[in-house]
Amino acid sequence: MNDDSTDHPPSASDVSSLPSARRVLRFLRIGSRAEPFGFVNLDKAIDQVGREMFAQDWVHSLSLKHFPFQYEKKRRAFYRYDYGGSLKHPLISERVTPQTLQQRRDWRRIDRQYRKVRSRLRGALENGHVGCRLYTPEGDLLEPSLTAFASQLRRIFYCGVMWATTPIGKRNCRVLIDKHTLQTWLGRAVQVSPELPPSRKTGLTTFLPLIKIIADDAQENRYKLPYRRFDDLLTDVAEEANVKLSKSAIGDLWSRDAASEIKFTGRHRPPKMDGENFERARSKLIEKLVLILAEQ
């Protein structure tokens, strides 16, 4: 996908003067199939929480073509996500680029708001305060894996689906939210306190098994990592898994023998192909690593 969009969305500071074609949040590939009785699609639930928390600011965000997007701090860029057509598994990251400094500031503010909405609802789902089911392409309702809300955060909260085992194999299943428990939870004034538990502390040994997995992925996808990208990768994994990992611990992991197969240690920049291969594999790798941490 191209890095730059040729049809750029308006700045959040300008959208109040524009007619909005989108009045509610809608994920790209949800489709037109009606939800089963008593459920709403995840995007509608996120929309309700967003309106409760941010009122008119949230409505303004809906006018942005690429919303919801995420600012990835380590890559210093905005991305939106898709999982590909024909129910393919790989998650796709598409970079979207603001055109002015003011627009960039607006997007950062909107990203922070969406993260807060995402975190509140994710916590309520993981804690059982809000009910959830998976809607398979065949029309079955399944129980979700609660660990997936961390390990598949981008896929779930930016695409509205969960990659799950169904009676006929692995599929992308639509995430449905129970209307009654959602409304009961919203009635508690969602602005009051965050639902997510504090970040759990984790020892260095927790992350050691991940190094072998990263090394295998690097070999399969043909890339080597300089320290900066290794640091960025583990920082993102720790953030999505809601665990703490210090910079000194990352340095220690880098110095281990197991990391030797990952390292690019040349005096110059890594080959361009290495960077491109890593970026293509990155989202799927993060999902895999976060899932491992969530199951420990």
The label of the residue with tokens 């993102």 reads: 236
What is the model's pLDDT at position 166? Answer: 87
Q: Is 204 helix (H, G, I), strand (E, B) or coil?
A: helix
Run of H or E including 267: none
pLDDT digits (tens, 9 = 90+) for 14-47: 333 333 445 778 887 776 778 888 999 999 999 9
Burial environment of residue 48 by CB neighbours within 10 A (0 to 12, 13 to 18, 19 or more): buried
What is the model's pLDDT at position 295? Answer: 65
pLDDT digits (tens, 9 = 90+) for 106-134: 888 888 889 888 888 888 888 888 999 99
Cβ-proximal residues to 77 (8 Å cutoff; 6+ apart), any chain: 71, 95, 97
Q: Which two tokens stand for residue 252?
A: 């220690």
CB 253 within 8 A of CB 207: yes
The label of the residue with tokens 């708001």 reads: 113
- Cβ-based neighbour number of residue 96 at 10 Å: 22
- Mean predicted confidence (pLDDT) in 159-175: 88
What is the model's pLDDT at position 88? Answer: 52
